[in-house]
């Protein structure tokens, strides 16, 4: 995984908004994750068109009061975790 990698959610996983929880959820067969706001914002950009670097740039613009290094760490941590669970690919 590097800054030029393009994360893409696999077809078995679909990012959805749950009104009852007021949160994005990532359901997949027999499991699911309730995401916090920043994780939802990250995954909205994981359609294969954005590199990790461009995801960090977009979130840094969206959250100007958050340190860029912290955003980068959060993006990489989430992407690594979901990749290890087999929920997204990195191209």
Whether the predicted model's global pTM rises above the 0.75 cut: yes
3-state secondary structure 3-48: CCCCEEECCCCCCEEECCCCEEEEEECCEEEECCHHHHHHHCCCEC
What percent of the chain is predicted at pLDDT more than 90? 63
CA dihedral 30, 9, 22, 58 (to 10 degrees): 160
Q: What mean pLDDT do residues 55-76 have?
A: 97
List pLDDT tens digits, range 27-53.
876 778 889 999 999 999 999 999 999
pLDDT recorded at residue 11: 83
pLDDT recorded at residue 27: 83
């Amino acid at each position: 995984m590097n800054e030029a990698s393009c994360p893409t959610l696999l077809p078995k996983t679909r990012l959805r908004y749950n009104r009852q929880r007021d949160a994005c959820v990532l359901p997949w067969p027999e499991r699911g994750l309730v995401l916090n706001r920043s994780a939802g914002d990250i995954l909205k950009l994981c359609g294969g068109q954005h590199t990790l670097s461009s995801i960090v740039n977009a979130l840094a613009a969206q959250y100007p009061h958050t340190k860029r290094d912290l955003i980068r760490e959060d993006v990489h941590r989430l992407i690594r975790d979901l990749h290890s669970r087999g929920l997204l690919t990195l191209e």
